[in-house]
C-alpha cells in the first residue's frame, strides 16, 4: 500500500494507459485495466513485459496487472482511478459518470487528458472534490513529470494524496493550481513551438536550423537548468534588458500559424505522410525515435545515479549560462 492506495484502475490500455499501469504495478500496486478493445487487453501484459525487459527491470510487475473487459469490474475495489482513453470530451464525461457509479466512495478520480479542461470533464460528477487531472508524459515509465491539476472543487486532501502517491512511485509530481488550457508543460512547450514555426514562416531560417539551434544551445542545458533558474543565474536585470529588446519582436499571434494550416491542408502531416516542415525517410524516422529512447534512458540512469549520490561528477566548473 502506498499513501492509502493498494488498488489502482487504469481506463484505456493504449500508448499511455499501458505505460501508466506499468508504473503503478512497478510500485507494487495491484492494477486493473479496462479497455473496450479486446486486442488492447490481450496485448497488455506482453507489452508491459517487453518494456520491463528493455529497461532491465523485474518482469514480475506485469503479473500485478489484470486486464478487465468490464469497466465496473476494473474500478470496483479501486482506491485510485486514472483515465487514459480517447481524447474526447463526451467519451471522458460518460466514462467518469460510469466510474463514479461503480467505484468506492473514497476513490480519487483522475483524467490523463492532454488538453481538455479537467473542469469540463468532471463538472457532472456527484462528488467533484475527489476529481482532478494527472497529466503524464510519453513514455510514462521514462519521463518523470506528472502534472496534478485541481479544479475549483478539488479538495486539498485529494491533491495532497495524489502528489504523495506519485512521488512514492518515483515520479516528479507538480501541482497546477488552476485548470488552465495546456496546464504548465504544454503552455511552455507550445510557446516555443509558436516561435519556432514563426521563424520558418518568416524565412528567418529554415526548419533544420531551428532544430539545430535548440539542440545545440539551450536545449543542452534544459535537463538541469529551467528557465526561471536560468533567469536568476544571469540576473533579473539582464533578463529585463533582453526582454525590453526582444519581446516586441517575437511571435505573439493568438491563433495557429497560417503556415501550419497550409501544411495540414496540403497533406504534409509530418512523419506519418513522409513530410511536414521537413522530409522524413523511414530510416530517418526510425533513427530519431531510437535516439529519443536512448536519451530518455540516459537521463533516467543519471537521475538514479544522482539520487544514490554515485554520479562520480567532480566537475564543479562555473561555466556561465547567459546565452
Residue 114 known to bind ligand: yes
Q: Looking at beta carbons only, is 35 or 179 nearer to ligand NAD?
A: 35
Contact footprint for ligand NAD (CB under 6 A): 11-17, 34-37, 40, 84-87, 91, 95, 112-114, 136-138
Is residue 114 part of the annotated active site? The answer reads: yes
Q: Looking at beta carbons only, is 35 or 79 nearer to ligand NAD?
A: 35
Residue 271 known to bind ligand: no
Is residue 301 part of the annotated active site? The answer reads: no
Q: How far is CA 237 from CA 214, 233, 243, 244, in A?
A: 24, 11, 10, 11
With a CB cutoff of 8 Å and minimum separation 6, the contacts of 251 are 194, 195, 197, 198
Q: How far is the CB of 3 from ligand NAD (least distance, A)?
A: 23
Q: Looking at beta carbons only, is 12 or 67 nearer to ligand NAD?
A: 12
Q: Of 6, 114, 230, 302, which residue is the catalytic one?
A: 114
Q: How far is the CB of 91 from ligand NAD (least distance, A)?
A: 5
Residue 308 known to bind ligand: no
Residue 56 known to bind ligand: no
Q: What is the spatial distance between Cα 272 and Cα 257, in angstroms, rounded to a whole number?
A: 21
Q: Of 83, 100, 135, 166, which residue is the catalytic one?
A: 135
Is residue 201 part of the annotated active site? The answer reads: no
Residue 16 known to bind ligand: yes
Pure H helices in the chain? 15-26, 38-55, 71-75, 89-102, 118-122, 156-168, 185-201, 207-215, 218-221, 227-234, 236-246, 258-265, 282-308
Q: What is the spatial distance between Cα 79 and Cα 6, in angstroms, rounded to a whole number?
A: 7
Is residue 283 part of the annotated active site? The answer reads: no
Q: Which residues are catalytic?
A: 114, 135, 147, 186
Which residues define the annotated binding site for NAD(+)? 12-17, 35, 87, 92, 114, 138, 272
Amino acid at each position: 500500500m502506498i499513501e492509502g492506495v493498494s488498488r489502482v484502475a487504469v481506463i484505456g490500455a493504449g500508448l499511455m494507459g499501458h505505460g501508466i499501469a506499468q508504473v503503478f504495478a512497478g510500485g507494487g500496486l495491484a492494477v486493473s485495466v479496462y479497455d473496450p478493445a479486446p486486442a488492447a487487453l490481450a496485448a497488455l501484459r506482453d507489452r508491459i513485459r517487453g518494456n520491463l525487459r528493455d529497461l532491465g527491470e523485474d518482469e514480475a510487475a506485469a503479473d500485478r496487472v489484470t486486464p478487465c473487459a468490464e469497466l465496473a469490474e476494473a474500478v470496483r475495489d479501486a482506491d485510485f482511478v486514472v483515465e487514459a482513453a480517447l481524447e474526447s470530451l463526451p467519451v471522458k464525461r460518460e466514462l467518469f459518470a460510469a466510474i463514479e457509479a461503480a467505484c468506492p466512495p473514497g476513490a480519487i478520480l483522475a483524467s490523463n487528458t492532454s488538453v481538455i479542461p479537467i473542469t469540463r470533464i468532471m463538472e457532472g460528477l456527484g462528488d467533484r472534490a475527489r476529481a482532478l487531472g494527472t497529466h503524464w508524459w510519453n513514455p510514462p515509465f521514462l519521463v518523470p513529470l506528472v502534472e496534478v491539476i485541481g479544479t475549483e472543487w478539488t479538495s486539498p486532501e485529494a491533491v495532497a494524496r495524489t502528489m504523495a502517491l506519485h512521488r512514492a512511485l518515483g515520479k516528479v509530481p507538480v501541482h497546477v493550481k488552476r485548470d488552465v488550457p495546456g496546464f504548465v508543460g504544454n503552455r511552455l512547450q507550445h510557446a516555443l513551438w509558436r516561435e519556432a514555426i514563426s521563424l520558418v514562416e518568416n524565412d528567418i531560417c529554415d526548419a533544420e536550423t531551428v532544430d539545430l539551434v535548440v539542440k545545440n544551445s539551450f536545449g543542452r542545458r534544459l535537463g538541469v537548468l529551467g528557465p526561471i533558474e536560468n533567469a536568476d543565474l544571469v540576473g533579473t536585470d539582464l533578463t529585463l534588458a533582453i526582454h525590453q529588446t526582444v519581446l516586441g519582436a517575437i511571435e505573439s499571434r493568438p491563433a495557429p500559424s497560417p503556415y501550419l494550416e497550409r501544411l495540414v491542408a496540403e497533406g504534409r502531416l509530418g512523419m506519418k505522410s513522409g513530410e511536414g516542415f521537413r522530409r522524413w525517410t523511414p530510416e530517418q524516422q526510425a533513427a530519431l525515435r531510437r535516439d529519443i529512447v536512448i536519451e530518455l534512458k540516459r537521463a533516467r540512469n543519471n537521475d538514479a545515479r544522482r539520487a544514490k549520490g554515485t554520479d562520480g561528477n567532480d566537475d564543479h566548473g562555473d561555466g556561465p549560462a547567459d546565452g
